[in-house]
Each structure stands twice: as C-alpha cells, then as structure tokens.
Amino acid sequence: MKKYSNLKFHLEEVGTSHVTMTFAEMSKILGFPLPSSAGKFKNWWSNTRSGQSSAWQEAGYKADAKSLVFEENGQGCSFDQYQITFVRRGRPMYPSTNEVSAVASNDLNNMHLVAEIILGFDELFQLGHINKKDFEKVRERALSFL
C-alpha cells in the first residue's frame, strides 16, 4: 500500500465536488503528520505525479493551489490549521448527504413557490382579470422551473 493511500480512500468515500481539509484532519486520515514542506512550499501540492499527488489524482481530484492556506499566507495559523481544497474532476461520483438534502430542499422550495404562483394566477383567472390562454401560459412557464 502506498504511503498516501488513506487520503485516496477518504476522498473516494466522500465523493463530493469539493473537499476542504485542514492539515490536522489530513494527518489524522493518513495516520502520520504531513511533512513540514507541505506547509512551506506550494509546489508540494502540485498536481504532478508525485507520491502524495497520486493519492488525490487517483481519487479523481486535483489540489486547488489557490485555496491553500499555509505558512506564506496563514496569518498566525498553526501548521495544523493550514488547509487545502481538493476539487473533483468532472461530476462527483457520490453526492454527499448534505448535497442530496440541499437539492431536495431546493426542489421542495421550488415546488412550493411554483404552486403559489399557479394558485395566484388561478385566482386572477377565476376573478376574470386574465383569460384562460394567459393563465395556461403562466402555468406552463411556472411548471417548466421544476
């Protein structure tokens, strides 16, 4: 097993589009502390085929160097508080529970709003303020947002 395999397994398990981890979290997952060079040199996080980068790349991620908070820009953070974000290449394999909940919540909110819009225009139609053709147009347009 490769030295950074646990990071690969963790990223595969998470499977979301973005994974941000502190160095402490990553060290816990790996079972050993990150080397000091990870907090000193941005190129440690480059997406070349080095030992550590193979782990995130094989899991379908790339390290986002722009997200890196480390010695150079950590502003008094300790090494363990430095962080990096991994970005999934392409679509996430498995949406997280939070992502599924957010989508479901948004879908329910959208359905509620669409229903309110349709009911509001139905009331206008019933009162004679708009004709049936206009009501049908609004209803079809509102339903297209679901």
Using CA atoms, how far residue 136 sits from 93, 112, 114, 123, 128, in Å, is: 39, 18, 14, 13, 14
What are the structure tokens assigned to 94, written together?
């498995």
Rounded average pLDDT over 101-115: 66
Mean pLDDT of the chain: 82
Mean pLDDT is lowest, of 12-16, 27-31, 74-78, 82-86, for 74-78
Note whether 30 and 56 are within 8 A (CB). Answer: no
pLDDT at 99: 55
> Tens digit of pLDDT for each residue in 114-129?
787 888 888 788 888 8
Note whether 108 and 101 are within 8 A (CB). Answer: no
Give the helix/strand (H/E) hosting 123.
helix 97-126
